[in-house]
Amino acid sequence: MEIDLGVDAYLPDTYVSDQRQKIEIYKRIRELESQEMLDELEDDLLDRFGEYPEEVAHLLTVGQLKMDGDRALLETMRKQQETVIFTLSKVGTKRYSVEQLFEALSETTLKAGLGVEKEKMVIRLTIPKTMSEAVWLLEIQRFVKALRQQKYLSV
């Protein structure tokens, strides 16, 4: 799954200076497969390097979005101006009922729009100009997690 949210999501040198450690952490983020793995990584970061800055929090959030998005059959997640656009894979488009999509959307306060482009379901969430980056990231995280959970419910 491809993610482009336009947020600063990285390990700054001021937080982790050793390049080998950085590579190891990035690898762990890329290989996340469960909430437990993410929790363990967060604990390790706190134990080894202390409280992490916003860029690291965003990196962990993006890692979780990728993990959940892959399972939710999302193909892309992209931010353009004040809109986050989610495109389901062809398999995902066939997998979800409209009711399941609306159920997942009920988990976010963001305004939503649904459509189909090139035989793939597209979901647009609009971010209010006044909403902070941390808050809208949390909102899309809720939606993606709910979408992932809907996948496992029978239609």
Task: Specify the CATH superfamily of domain 2-68.
Answer: Transcription-repair-coupling factor, D7 domain (3.90.1150.50)
* Spans of all domains in the chain: 2-68, 73-151
- 123/101 Cα distance (integer angstroms): 9
For the entire predicted model, the pTM comes to 0.90
Check residue 154 and give its pLDDT. Answer: 53
Q: What pLDDT, in 10s, does the model give residues 117-132?
A: 999 999 999 999 999 9
Mean pLDDT of the chain: 95
Bridge-based pairing of strands 2-4 and 74-80 is: parallel
CATH architecture observed for domain 73-151: Alpha-Beta Complex (3.90)
- Tell me the mean pLDDT in the region 75-82: 97
Q: What pLDDT, in 10s, does the model give residues 1-15?
A: 999 999 999 999 999
Residue 64: band (very low, low, confident or very high) from pLDDT cuts 50, 70, 90? very high
pLDDT at 21 > cutoff 70? yes
Residue 151: band (very low, low, confident or very high) from pLDDT cuts 50, 70, 90? confident
